[in-house]
């Protein structure tokens, strides 16, 4: 393979990796909201579709990424798979007709990372790799709002990091077909994660790129999702989200943005 082809391949893989990261955050909300009717069914429900995501990265001069990705959805009483996240459902706790706590074990592919050729500021850096994350999730569903928390850790041991996500969302049914769901959240990353993806090691330091050791951080997200179900087979989803980066991330010499955003559009056919 020639050097030009190698660069094109690396660029394509990086685009897929960035798009996957952005897509995950949208699908975390999309799955239960869009397909709640199938969540407790004894039968397995299948869906196949395609999504497009436009995402911004915090790294200096890394271009905005626009990528199309396939979508697979599988759900029954015991498991849910959507996007890049697999949930193994545990017994729930029903407090009342409108008050329930759900528990699950989760596995999730995280597309964070970069190649040294992604930007001039990353030249001379060692590659930061994506990986598989796994952990547990709890969701409290009420008639007022849904509150969720999940903890995951890097089982691929690339960053050896941990992550805690907290989320709050509320859905409004607008007529027979449209559902609107505003959502807010916060994500804590431990110092291993921040140091791996945003730190600069001593052997990577250059003029204008000093050594930097990352510390644990908390970022905040806000977004709005809409799901339109034409009928029992066809649905589309649209989600927009903005994230405010923590100072521990913004202070990295690799980063030049304080906020990032992403837009997601997807279509799903239900069998």
Question: What are the CB-based long-range contacts (under 8 Å, 24+) for 79-82?
Answer: 80/31, 80/39, 80/104, 82/27, 82/30, 82/31
Number of Cβ within a 10 Å radius of residue 44: 13
pTM for the full predicted model? 0.84
Per-residue pLDDT, 100: 94
Predicted local distance difference test score (pLDDT) of residue 41: 63
* Rounded Cα–Cα distance for residues 244 and 180 (Å): 22
| pLDDT value for 64 | 84
Superfamily of domain 3-270: monomeric porin ompg (2.40.160.40)
Of the candidates 82, 73, 128, the residue with the CA atom closest to the CA atom of residue 108: 82
Query: What is the reported pLDDT for 9?
Result: 39
Nearest CA to 197 among 180, 181, 179, 215? 215
Question: How far apart are alpha carbons 232 and 229 in whole angstroms?
Answer: 7
DSSP assigned state of 144: S
With 0-12 CB in 10 A as exposed, 13-18 as middle and 19+ as buried, what is 263? middle
Residue-level pLDDT at 40: 62
Q: In which residue ranges of the chain is pLDDT below 50?
A: 2-16, 18-20, 22, 25-26, 28-34
What local confidence, expressed as pLDDT, does residue 84 receive? 86
Domain residue spans in the chain? 3-270
């Amino acid at each position: 393979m020639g050097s030009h082809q190698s660069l094109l391949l690396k660029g394509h893989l990086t685009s897929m990796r960035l798009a996957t990261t952005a897509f995950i955050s949208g699908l975390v909300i999309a799955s239960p909201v869009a397909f709640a009717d199938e969540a407790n069914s004894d039968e397995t429900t299948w869906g196949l579709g395609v999504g497009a995501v436009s995402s911004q990265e915090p790294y200096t001069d890394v271009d905005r990424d626009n990528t199309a990705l396939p979508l697979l959805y599988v759900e029954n009483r015991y498991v849910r798979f959507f996007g890049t996240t697999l949930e193994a459902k545990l017994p729930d706790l029903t407090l009342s007709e409108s008050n329930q706590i759900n528990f699950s074990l989760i596995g999730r592919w995280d597309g964070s990372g970069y190649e040294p050729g992604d930007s001039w500021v990353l030249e001379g850096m060692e590659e930061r790799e994506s990986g598989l994350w796994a952990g547990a999730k709890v969701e409290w569903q009420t008639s007022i709002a849904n509150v969720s928390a999940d903890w995951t850790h890097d089982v691929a041991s690339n960053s050896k990091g941990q992550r805690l996500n907290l989320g709050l969302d509320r859905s409004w049914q607008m007529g027979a077909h449209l559902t609107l769901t505003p959502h807010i959240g916060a994500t804590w990353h431990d110092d291993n994660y921040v140091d791996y993806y945003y730190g600069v090691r001593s052997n990577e330091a250059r003029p204008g790129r000093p050594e930097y050791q990352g510390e644990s951080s908390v970022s905040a997200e806000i977004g709005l999702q809409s799901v339109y179900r034409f009928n029992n087979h066809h649905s589309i989803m649209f989600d927009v989200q903005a994230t405010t980066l923590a100072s521990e991330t913004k202070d990295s010499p690799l980063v030049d943005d304080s906020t990032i955003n992403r837009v997601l559009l997807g279509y799903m056919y239900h069998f």
